[in-house]
Amino acid sequence: MYRAPLAAYPALRPRRLRQADWIRRLVRETVLTPSDLIWSLVVHDGPEDEIQVASMPGAPRMSVRRAAEAAREARTLGIPAIAVFPFIDPALKDDRGTAATDENGLICRAVKAMKDAAPEVGIMCDVALDPFTSHGHDGLIENGRILNDATVERLIEQGLVQAAAGCDILAPSDMMDGRVGRLRTSLEAEGMTDVAIMAYAAKYASAFYGPYRDAIGSASVLSGDKKTYQMDPGNSEEALREVALDISEGADMVMVKPGMPYLDIVQRVAETFALPTFAFQVSGEYAMIQAAAQNGWIDGDRAMLESLGGFKRAGCAGVITYFAPRAARALAG
C-alpha cells in the first residue's frame, strides 16, 4: 500500500536507492527464482527426440525419452515442477477423446518416465479432452452443444488414470461446471488423498492460445470457438465467483489463464482468497516475445525475465511458462 513520504526533496531523494546494483538488490521488493517456475512442455509419441513447432521457436515437442531428460534438467536447474501436454496421433482421436483414459497412453507413459528419472520433480497433468478429440473441444458434443455433466464424467476417468500413473498435480482446464468437486471426491474415494488439484479457475476465451493448438495438433480440427465454456475477457467479478466455487469444491491452488493480459485478475484473486495463485504465460505470450527477440526488436532475455517478474509482483505464487529452463539459467547468471 502506498503511503505519502515522510520527507520531501531534497531531504528525500529516491534515486539514492538506485545508484548501484548492490543497493538495488538490497531493496528489491519482488524476487524471481527458479522455484517460482513450472516448465510447460509438449510430448509426442514418435522416435524423434524433438520436433520443432514453427509458431513456438525454442519449445519443441519432446519424445518420452527426451521428457525424462527434461525432468532431470529441471531438477538440476531448481525448477520444482513440469506441466506436460500431449500431441496425439490424429488416428487415435475420436469424438469422445477415448485416448485420454488409456492407462498405457502417451501422457501416462511420459509421467512414469519423468517420475522415474527425477522423482523429486513434481508433474502436473492437464485434465481436458481437447488434445484427444477429433473436434478439438474440451468436452463431449451433442447437436453442436457441449455437454457439461457427461464431460465431467469423462474428465474424472482421465484424472484418475493420470493420478495412478504418478501425476502429482491434476489441473482441470476444461471450464466445465462442477468438475473440481467431482474430481476431489473421486480422488478421495480411490485413496489418492495426496494428489493436489490446481484448478484453471479463471480461464478466458483468448486469442493467445493459437501456438499451443499448433503444438498439440488441435488447431486444424477445432470447429467453432470455446466461448460457451471459457470466460468472457471483459469479466472480472465472474472470475472471483469461479475461483470461489473451485476453492469450495476442493482446489488446493488456482490459476488464471492467460497471464499478462489478466494481471489485474491475478492480483484480485491473490488478495481476495490468499490461496496459492498461479498464472499461465501461454503460448501466444511466449511466441510474441520470441518473435520480437528474433527480429532484434527487444532483448529477449530481459523481456522474458521482466514478464515473469510481473507475475510475481501481481501476487503469483508461481508461473507456468515455456521459458522455464531458459529463465532458470538466466537467473543463475
- Annotated catalytic sites, by residue? 203, 257
CB under 8 Å to 142, separation ≥6 — which residues? none
Distance of alpha carbon 49 from alpha carbon 288, whole angstroms: 25
Provide the β-strand partners of residue 125. Answer: 84, 170
Residue with cell 491475478: 266
The DSSP code sequence of 75-86 is HHHT--EEEEEE
Which amino acid makes up residue 224?
G
- Is the Cα dihedral 326, 331, 332, 333 positive or negative? positive
Q: HSE on the CB side for 164, CA within 13 Å?
A: 13
**Contact call for residues 269 and 239 (beta carbons, < 8 A):** yes
User: How would you write 199-264 as a 3-class SS string?
Assistant: EEEEEECCHHHHHHHHHHCCCCCCCCCCCCCCECCCCCHHHHHHHHHHHHHCCCEEEEECCHHHHH
Q: Verify cis geometry, omega within 30 degrees of 0, for the bond prior to 47.
A: no
Q: Report the C-alpha gap between 254 and 172 in whole angstroms.
A: 10
Q: ∠ at Cα 208 (248, 197), nearest 5°? A: 25
Residues pairing with 92 in the sheet: none
CA distance 247 to 251: 5
Q: Please choose, from the candidates 246, 40, 230, 242, the residue with its C-alpha nearest in 3D space to the C-alpha of residue 137.
A: 230
